[in-house]
Every structure is written in C-alpha cells, then in structure tokens.
Structure 1
Amino acid sequence: MALPATLVVELSALLGDGWRIDDAARDAHGGDDSRRHARPDAVALPRTREQVVALVRACRAHGVPIVARGAGTGTTGAAVPTHGGIAVSFARMDRILAIRPADRCAVVEPGVLNGALQTALAAHGLFWPPDPSSAESCTVGGNLATNAGGPRAVKYGATRDNVLGLVAVTGTGELIRVGGAYTKASAGYDLTHLLVGSEGTLALIVEATLKLAPRPQAQAGLRAFYRDAASAAAAVSRLMAQPVVPAMLEFLDRRSLMLLRRNGSDVPEAGAMLLVEADGSAEALPDILAALGAAAEGEGLLDMDVAPDGAARDRLWAARRALSPALRTIAPGKINEDVVVPVSRIPELVASVEALADAYGLTIVCFGHAGNGNLHVNLLYHPDDADETARAQAALPQVFDLALALGGTLSGEHGIGLSKREFMARAYDAPTLAAMRAVKHAFDPDGILNPGKLLPP
C-alpha cells in the first residue's frame, strides 16, 4: 500500500532521521529468522515513548498497519510486515534505565540486547533468566513479545515469569502502565502477563521492569545415556521430583546422537541422552549433584558422566552445542518448530515423530528442554528438491497434531506468528478464540497492530 502523503510528512517531521523510506531500510526490516520476507512501506526508529504514542495515533488516523520488531531473530514470521505499513524498530530505544539490586529488578527499554543486559547485571551479582539460543543478539522487547525461554526455564521460568511491570502503547495510542517493582499483587486484571507473548498484536512495549535472580556461585552437571526415550522420560520425572530443581534439563533423541557421532562428537550409541545442570552455592552443590545423579539412575540407564566443576561441565555441553551446526550437514533446509507435551508423553511424541520421519522419508531430529516437555522438532530437507520440500511441508501439520493429541500445545517459546497461526483453531475451541479476539479488539479496535499474526482468520 502507498502511505498517505500527509502521514509521510507528519511522521518525517516527528522522527527526523528515524524515518526511513529508502529501499535498503525497507528490505532490511522486512524479514526475520523464519526466512519469510515482506517489504514495509516505511521504517520508523523512535527514540522516545512520546514518539511511539504520536506514531500510533497518526497511523490509526490513517488506518496504516504497524509491525514492531526487535533484532529479527524470531523464527515464526511474527515480525514480517505481511500487510505493508510501517515497521517500527526499537533499536534506538536501547537504554538500561535503572538497575535496582535492593528490589531485585531492572528497568529497561525494549531495544536493549539480552546479552548486553546480562553483562551489565553481572557486576551486581545478578542475571535475567531468559536465555534463548539467540541471547547475545536478541532484544528484551523480542523476548517479551514471544515469551522467550531457553534451557534455564526449567528452574527459573520463561520471560513471562520474569517480568514485573510494563509501559506500553495500545492500538488507540494510549500509554498504559501495568505492574511495577514488586513481586506480589492482587489488584485488578494481570495485564502485564497478558501483554507478554502477544507478539505486538495488543500494544507496543516501550519499557519493562524485569525480575532478576542472583547469579549462582557454582555450576556442575551430568550427562546420562538411556536405552530409549521412555527410560529418559522416566528419569526426567524422577529428576523433577527432587527438592532442588535442575537449572537445566535437556533431551536429545536417538537421531540427534547418531548425527553427533557422524560429525565426530564423543557420544556412545544410545536411544536418548539427558544433559542435567545444577547450580547453587559451592558448599551445597556436591550434595545437589549427588541427588540428581541418584535420580538419573534407573531402568534403561546405559552410562553417565559427572562434571563436578565448570570446566568439566563445558566439556559435557560441547555435544549439545555441536548439534545445531551438525544439522546443517544433513540438509540445507530446516523447519524448526517447538511444541510442548506433558513430560510423561515425551516418549510418545518422539516415537510418533520417528514414525512420521519414516512415513515421509525425511530426517527429523528432536531435542530440547525436557523438564518443561518443550521439544524442538527439526524437519530437514533440500530446498532444491521439490518433492522433498513438499513432503516436509506435508509432515509439519502432523507434528502439531501430535502435540495437541498428547495434551500439549503449539509452542513453548517461539510463539505463533505466521507459521502456526492456522493451527490455533485446532488448539482452541471457538469460545476461547472469541475471547482472545475480544481482548484484541479492546486493545486495538482498528486492528492496526501486527495484523494477520497469532490469531487465525
């Protein structure tokens, strides 16, 4: 769509050099890590919340869509401006406004990089728990938009569990403040946690008060190999029943281990592997590690390595870090979708995905955050092979159907965006979707905020 000339003049005056309509800027802000791309009509780079308020009000007056974006590391197409309009980058709103150790919180703008925030917090002996794989380059705003998680979520929770308050601009251009620098509240609706994970469809977040955690003194880990996924899942249940929750609890399936061996990693033949990490005080850690090791033992255990210190732990995690690069040696195309099932249903999910791989003649690799039942299902294919590409696309809906049939959900940390939008009608009944649409209408009555995302048509 062509932007109204009056809107272009108004926003150019409002934003100055933060208003871009050149092809290079529009192309650079049209995609994300989903490999989808649609060029916006313009790019806005506000510096203040007042500019965001004015921007939204102007766009509403002209019926122009707005798509907020962080660093573009999302994998579902949520930041792709499929309806044109204006891509709003928060790259210039990247200030850490306050670090308040006494209140165990930090106040930040949405463009702050997760990695930069962690560096600033380290000097205070604190950290912010969300640790997605793109932690060094993704923004806090993007983490908030998708409710990002990562391996630490098993103990510390995902983004939603680590946010105390927000300042945001609704689709009507109103500035709202929800939550604050406190951890307990029973006053009104919990709009803070409603906005987290809404993928920019309800409001544009311009400030966040984040809940921080003390950095552990020490870390240790163990690596356990099992006969099959069922044995590993039973061990997960035992591990999660311990008084001290593991800091990380990762699962790798049989195909993952085969791939790692093929690429030279030092892992034995096994049906599944668990990577378990503990953290805490130096004095308590040996007892915690011993308790987790005892829980990891049981029917189907083939072998176990213990890493009592940081250096040894890094060696154990080398295989997990080598997995993503190893996937690229199989095929250049990868569909990586995260689904969640109850921990007890992990074996059924893995077995069904293996059957799906055989039925469609594909390599499908499962790994992920076992303590949450949040597995990443990677369908590998060659994009230049039309038949193989079609098989991968045909298998994908069945992965989602499997997760839902096992009592799970469509995503644990990637979000919905475009890639899973049509499956929302399978995950939720009509009254529930109607309630979600009513919430959307209350925040964004004209539907200008990230249209076409998250909710099905």
Structure 2
Amino acid sequence: MLPENLVVELHAVFPPDRFYTDPVDCYAYAYDNSRKIFPPDAVLFPLTSAEVKHIVTLCNRYRVPLIPRGRGTGTAGGSLPELGGIALSMERMLNIISVDPANRVIVVEPGVLNQAVQDAAKPHGFFWPPDPSSAMFSTVGGNIATGAGGPHAVKYGTTREHVLGLKAVTAAGNFITTGCYTTKGVVGYDLTRLLIGSEGTLAVITEATLKLTALPGAVAGITAHFRDLTSCTAAIVKIMAQPQLPSALEFLDSGSLNLIRGRYPDMLPVDTNAMLMIEVDGFHNDIADAISVILSACQSDGLIHASTVENTATLWQARKALSPLLREIAPKKINEDVVVPVNTLPQFLHGLTQLSTRYRLQNVNFGHAGNGNIHVNLLINPDDADEVIRAERCLGEIFDLVIKLRGTLSGEHGVGSEKRAFVSKEIDCVTLDLMRDIKKLFDPNNILNPGKLFPVVE
C-alpha cells in the first residue's frame, strides 16, 4: 500500500492514463517473461526526464520501491515488483532524439524499441549490433539494463560495446551524465559500463547515446548437420580458431532438433543429431573465402552435410521455432544462459548430458556457440514436487560445472531474481561487498529495484 500523501502528490502531476492504481490495470506490469507474478501497487508512465526525476525524488522521500521496466521481455525476473511499490514503465519515452551518420551515433530515449533503432539507422547504411531474440519488442533501456546480446555478439559484441554514453537519474533524484559523444574518451571512471547490466538498481536511464556500425556489404548463410554431438562441438572449436569470425554461430542439440521435427517433420534430416547455423558477413570479395574456411572446419566423419543457404532469412527459421515449442511440451522450463570458454564446449555439453541423465530430467540445449553461450533448458512439471527438487539440484551442479570451466552464470539475460541465489558461486565475498557498497552510494535508501542481483545475506 502506497503512502496516501505520495498518491496525492503523484495525482497532482500525472493524469489517470499515466498513473495506474487499479489492480486490474496494474496486473500487466506484475510479470515479465520469467512468468512469475508480483503485482505493483501502482504504475507510472513518465514522458520526460524531468518527470522521471520527480518520481524518483518522491519515492526516495517516502521510501517506496521503484522498479524501472521496459516491455517486460526479460527472462530473469529483473523487472518484477517483488516488494510492491511502483512499476516505472519507460515504454512511452519514445523519442529518437537524433541520428548522426557522420559520427555513427544515434541518441534515443529508453522506451525506443531495438527494432526502431535499426529502422532509423538502416537508411544511412548502419545498424545497432545488439540483437536479442526480443528485438522487435524489447526497448533500448531494457537492452542496456540487462546488457543484452544475441546471435551476432560473436562478431560484434554485446550492448556494452555499443553504448557511448548515458543520461540517468540516481535514487536521490540527481541527474548524471556518463561517457561521451565520441568513440574515444577516458576522462573519469567508466560509469557508462557500470550502469549497463545493472538492471535498474543504480539509476534510471533517461537517454542513451548509441554507437552505430556499418551494415555489411554481403551476408551468406551455412547449415551444417552432424550425426553426433562430438563432431559438432569439434567443428565449433575449429571455426572459432580461424582468423575471420563468423557473424553468427548457432548450435542446436538433439533435443532441440527433435522438438522441431515434431512440429515440422520435413525441415531437418532424420539422422541429424546436432546442427550448426552459421552466418558470415563482410565485403563481397571476402565472403567466398570465409565460406570455404568454415566448410573445411566442419569436415569430419560425423558430418552429414554442410551447405550454403541462399536466403539467410530461412537460416533462422528452425532457431526461431524453438522457444514457443519449449512451452508446449512442459508446463515450465528452467532457462539458463550460461557461458563457457569455447574450447570447453565439448566438455560442458557432455557434462550436461550426464547431469540430465542422472537427475532424470528432459534437457534441451541451444544457443550462441561462437561465444560459448548455451541456453540450457530443463523441462519440468512444477506440480511434481520430486521433479522440482531434482531440477534444483541439477541446476546447482550445472552452475558448478560452468564455474569449474572458467565460465559465467549469465551471458545476456542478467541475474534479476531468478539467478541471484547462485551469484556467490561466481563472485567472491569481498567483491560482492564492494558491489553492495556501490549500490548504497547510488541508492542509499534501497528504493531502486530492491532485492535484485545480490544473494540474500543470512
């Protein structure tokens, strides 16, 4: 329940269509793609940075939780109002402030969709490389908050590499400006990269200066089908050892392929047990050489066939079919986006097979193999208490294996609430305490997205 005086002050500034208090209206902001539900006490829709500052200042004064969110496409529970409070929806801050082709820069507000950035940049011959699967629907602010990636991160990197500067409001209601307008700049601490991936726990982003990249002159696709996982992972390691990186390198295991076959029987060869979807881009003259090198790297006794794809849009048909199918075959999926060094992928995927067999769980794995970023999906029935317990134990061992291989527990989805209990497996106590101190400096009253990122201190 919000303090009455706070509600009165907010009503004085925000009309009813931008200040929801009816539980029915607020319900759409109670969940994200983690599918967990925590209703907020209210939802606010600012239109300007000044309004954001006013909201943050009031929430800080009244000690009310404030949870920034974009379009709720995140999978890690990062925008869930677990403690109630106010959901701060940035979805109506939609201005593309400027497009500057000469400096390869676009400046946008946080509610602008990723796809809208691509549409604005394309006529000038540019694009913004972060390309999560939710790009059509996710906001720039959400991409920055989670440090989003996607298939093309193998060549172009994640969001952190493509943000030059930010404007934001700290929990005390102070405006801050980080970074600069140029691609070179080393004055002061790098607060831009600190805010990227902070999931709204440090400040509320109100403007982003994004670095654009030239669209490639040519793009080509390759599919490679393997009889076994060993041959497929060996090909991944060989491809990534080449001087010229693919622009995307996606992996699907036998569980993924069987799901696709169940819905689209004629899409895949019956004896394919592992598959790579590969994209290369660059200058026209370089594409043929890149394809030749990759096809050579795929050669092994376990290769069924590898060939180029005329229309690269069809390359992603199988990959995009996966996520909806996962929801159909199990009431719940535990989806993790762990990352391991590429040369340890064979060991990691073999370990996943052993663990899922030992714990008697159905497991489907796919993802951005060029980064070693595998989406592990444990498919369970949440009404089966024994299966839930087995899944939790299996997940703990999966994370232990990731850390043993010098990997990380999240490559692009973030920590949110779903993964915070495991963070201490990766980050030592001293470092965690330093991070908590940074949080206190930005947000001394712990109003911004409280409870996220950090494990609970016993």
Report the counterpart of residue 153 of structure 1 in structure 2: 153
**Stretch moving more, 350-359 or 392-401:** 392-401
1:271 deviates by 4.2
Structure 2: 5+ residue stretches without partners:
none
Q: Percent identity?
A: 51
Report the counterpart of residue 141 of structure 2 in structure 1: 141
Q: How many residues align?
A: 453
SS in 2 for 1:184: coil
CA contact (8 A) 2:225 2:303 kept: yes
User: Aligned partners of 1:436, 1:241: CA distance in 2, in Å?
Assistant: 35
CA contact (8 A) 2:23 2:41 kept: no
CA contact (8 A) 1:229 1:346 kept: no
Query: Which letter maps to 2:278?
Result: V
User: Aligned partners of 1:79, 1:85: CA distance in 2, in Å?
Assistant: 12
CA contact (8 A) 1:235 1:297 kept: yes
CA contact (8 A) 2:334 2:379 kept: yes
Alignment equivalent of 2:275, drawn from 261, 273, 276: 273
Report the counterpart of residue 404 of structure 2 in structure 1: 405
TM-score scaled by structure 2? 0.95
Report the counterpart of residue 369 of structure 1 in structure 2: 368
Tell me whether 1:162 sits opposite 2:140 in the alignment.
Answer: no
The correspondence of residues 326-405 of structure 1 with structure 2, limited to 5 A, is 326-405=325-404
**Stretch moving more, 178-187 or 140-149:** 178-187
User: Aligned partners of 1:53, 1:316: CA distance in 2, in Å?
Assistant: 45
Report the counterpart of residue 222 of structure 2 in structure 1: 222
What per-residue deviation string (whole Å, max 9, x for no partner) do you get for residues 135-193 of structure 1? 10111111011001110110111111111100011111110001122111121110001
1:282 deviates by 2.8
User: Aligned partners of 2:257, 2:271: CA distance in 1, in Å?
Assistant: 7
**Stretch moving more, 380-389 or 428-437:** 380-389
1:324 deviates by 2.5
The correspondence of residues 150-299 of structure 1 with structure 2, limited to 5 A, is 150-263=150-263, 264=265, 265-298=267-300
Alignment equivalent of 1:304, drawn from 293, 303, 306: 306
Query: Which letter maps to 2:400?
Result: D
CA contact (8 A) 1:223 1:306 kept: yes
User: Aligned partners of 1:112, 1:317: CA distance in 2, in Å?
Assistant: 25
User: Aligned partners of 1:255, 1:27: CA distance in 2, in Å?
Assistant: 35
1:329 deviates by 4.4
1:283 deviates by 3.3
1:291 deviates by 2.4
User: Aligned partners of 2:156, 2:239: CA distance in 1, in Å?
Assistant: 16
User: Aligned partners of 1:102, 1:267: CA distance in 2, in Å?
Assistant: 48
What per-residue deviation string (whole Å, max 9, x for no partner) do you get for residues 17-46 of structure 1? 322211122211111010111111111111
User: Aligned partners of 2:81, 2:113: CA distance in 1, in Å?
Assistant: 22
TM-score scaled by structure 1? 0.95
User: Aligned partners of 1:202, 1:220: CA distance in 2, in Å?
Assistant: 41
CA contact (8 A) 1:366 1:376 kept: yes
Tell me whether 1:73 sits opposite 2:77 in the alignment.
Answer: no
Report the counterpart of residue 451 of structure 2 in structure 1: 452
Residues 326/6 of structure 1: CA separation in 2 closer, same or farther (3 Å cut)? closer
SS in 1 for 2:260: helix
1:356 deviates by 1.7
User: Aligned partners of 1:291, 1:218: CA distance in 2, in Å?
Assistant: 17
1:299 deviates by 6.1
SS in 1 for 2:13: helix
Query: Which letter maps to 2:82?
Result: T
**Stretch moving more, 242-251 or 389-398:** 389-398
Query: Which letter maps to 1:347?
Result: P
Tell me whether 1:31 sits opposite 2:31 in the alignment.
Answer: yes
SS in 2 for 1:428: coil
Query: Which letter maps to 1:409?
Result: T
What per-residue deviation string (whole Å, max 9, x for no partner) do you get for residues 227-249 of structure 1? 44343333223222333211101
CA contact (8 A) 1:19 1:42 kept: yes
Report the counterpart of residue 109 of structure 2 in structure 1: 109
Residues 315/111 of structure 1: CA separation in 2 closer, same or farther (3 Å cut)? closer
Aligned-residue Cα RMSD (Å) equals 1.7
SS in 1 for 2:124: coil
SS in 2 for 1:432: helix
What per-residue deviation string (whole Å, max 9, x for no partner) do you get for residues 68-94 of structure 1? 000000111110011111110001111
CA contact (8 A) 2:340 2:408 kept: yes
Report the counterpart of residue 432 of structure 1 in structure 2: 431
Query: Which letter maps to 2:282?
Result: G
1:441 deviates by 1.2
Query: Which letter maps to 2:269?
Result: V
What per-residue deviation string (whole Å, max 9, x for no partner) do you get for residues 169-225 of structure 1? 111111000112211112111000110000000100000001111122221111123
CA contact (8 A) 1:166 1:179 kept: yes
CA contact (8 A) 1:219 1:277 kept: yes
Structure 1: 5+ residue stretches without partners:
none
Report the counterpart of residue 87 of structure 1 in structure 2: 87
Query: Which letter maps to 1:370?
Result: A
User: Aligned partners of 1:192, 1:299: CA distance in 2, in Å?
Assistant: 48
1:268 deviates by 4.1
Report the counterpart of residue 322 of structure 1 in structure 2: 321
SS in 2 for 1:283: helix
Report the counterpart of residue 53 of structure 1 in structure 2: 53
**Stretch moving more, 163-172 or 259-268:** 259-268
CA contact (8 A) 2:113 2:136 kept: yes
User: Aligned partners of 2:438, 2:429: CA distance in 1, in Å?
Assistant: 14
